[in-house]
Structure formats: structure tokens, C-alpha cells
Structure 1
């Protein structure tokens, strides 16, 4: 009996295994740009609290600014990321990878400025400086492999590496060596540690 054909993991920049929740915070990538960078971030809202829907609400401009005192400090922020990986490894997608998500801000890496132009942003549910769950590393590694099969990915870096002094995530609790072993990408694909 013939097996069912497997679907490619991508459809118009959307990963088929992710839960989709479209963000309005994106724009077109510049013409001719090479999508060659993955940027790893960490986020939790409020900081250090996990499991709610505040991150999804932030990325879709639906966050209730009065729901927690911390939210006043980010009131009006319009940001997004391509992906969000929860503590249990669940994968969410907000912007097609063919489009430019608003995750990097002022940034530079490997001679390229404005890293939103050439990167895919992946947020891990967590707090900079704290550790991450094994399920997140495995989901991140699978997503990076899928991205590398579809786009000419050459580098994986943290927000802290593309915006040093301005951003600290994912921070010292993130295990770059573990990710590199899971991915088996060459050492030069990762930031110097």
C-alpha cells in the first residue's frame, strides 16, 4: 500500500507545523535580500511569567496595557517575531518568513545592518539569564533545520549578538553548545563564545 505523500514544511513562508496567528507588524523585505540569519530572542510577559497569552497579544496589537503594571512600560509597542516557542516546545508563527518581521530593531551582524531585512526572528518563552527547557531546544533545532532547507541560512545568533549593549537576550542561560550539537551546523554559523 503506497504511503501518503508528506507535505513540504513550508507554504508561502508559513511553517505547516506551527500554530498561525497573523501579526499586523511586518513589511516587505528589500528586493534581492538573502535570508541568511536566524536571530534567537527570549520573551515572557510579564517578565518571568509563563503560559499565558500576553506574548501572542503583544505581537497582534491586542495586549491590554492595563492588565499588569509592567505593560505600562511597553505601552504602544508594535513588534512581532516570525516564531514563538513555548516552554513545552509548542510552535507559533506570526509573520511569513518571506516577509520582514519587526523583531531586531537597530542591529548589525556579519557586516549586515538592519537585521530585520535578512533574518528570521525566533522568540523563546523565557527570561534572559535564566535557562530554557529541553523541549524548546529540540523545537528550535527542528525549526532551524527546516529553515536551512528552505532559505540560505548561514548564521544563528542571539539578539544580544546583533544589538550588543542594547539587548541581552537570550542571555547567559541559553546553551549555544547544546543547540550547535543538536543542529550539527558548522561552528562558524554561531557567534563566538
Structure 2
């Protein structure tokens, strides 16, 4: 297979993943955006974190909220726990790697805040600790994964929102999570500031 053919096939896999994700999650993405809007209208914040590539997804959401998505608007309250290397390594050294986010959630989370947590598979011990810490602090939780039967899924509460992507391939999952973050950001902007036509 030539390189150009491989690229075409890659884009076809991406489009196919988009179709499956749209059919599976369009309603749930709307609910996720509504939860975040409700949180902000009650003067609470969004706390974002993740592992590996999913840390970039978490950071992308917080950056779009703190700055702006496609149009100028007021900054929205969000924080990313993935970027403070000094705090994370200190916590890992003294409390253990699995607590690098959980300790921050316990310290910074307030009842009514929302935890945004993308991950892969069934959820690592670190992700479980994040969810448990969020529950201790009475945070609402939005997860993004590709496993509906994992350990993390099992401890979520009925009021939490679990976005399960029908995608197994790691690269396609990351792509779909990014598309989903963009959908959530656009829906948040529409609900808070009215319809704004994206620039072409």
C-alpha cells in the first residue's frame, strides 16, 4: 500500500468513527454541556484531568473554556490539573502516583463543581481515585472512555454522565474525544451566549 492510499484509509477510519460516535453520543453530549452550564451558572468551576493522551484532551477543554472556543467571549471557570509538574511529582513522591490528581481534587474541589475525566479502557487506579475524591467532595462527574463495564464506570452515580465511545482503536478514540470536546464547547457557548456562527 502506498503512503497516499494509507492516508486515505486513515481518513476513512476517522469518518467511520465519527459516524458511530455521532449515532451513539449526540444526546449524551448535549447533557454533558448542560451539566457544565448549570455548574457555571451556579458559580462553580470545571476541574479537568487525564492520563497520557487524555491529559491533552482534558487540557484542551480547560483551555477553550478559560480563553475562548471560536468566538470572543468572557472567560469561563475551568482548571487543568495536568500541567503543574511540581505539585504532581511532589504528591507522587510522598502520597503515591495514583493520588496526583485525587489530592488536588480534595484540596480544590467544592460541592457543585464538575470533574471532567477522559480515559481509556476500564479506568486505571489513578482514575478510580479521582472519581472517589470527586464523590467525597460532592462534585458532579463527566467521564469519557471506551469501556462501559470498567471499574471506573461501576462507581459512578446515576447523576453523573458517562460518555462511552464506540471506538476501540487508541488513535481513533483520542480523535473522537477531541471532536466531542469541540461539540461540548460549541454547545456551552450557544447556551450561555446565544448562537454564534463559526468562522469558515
TM-score (norm: length of structure 2)? 0.25
Greater radius of gyration (CA): 2
Relative to its length, the structure with more strand (as a share) is 1
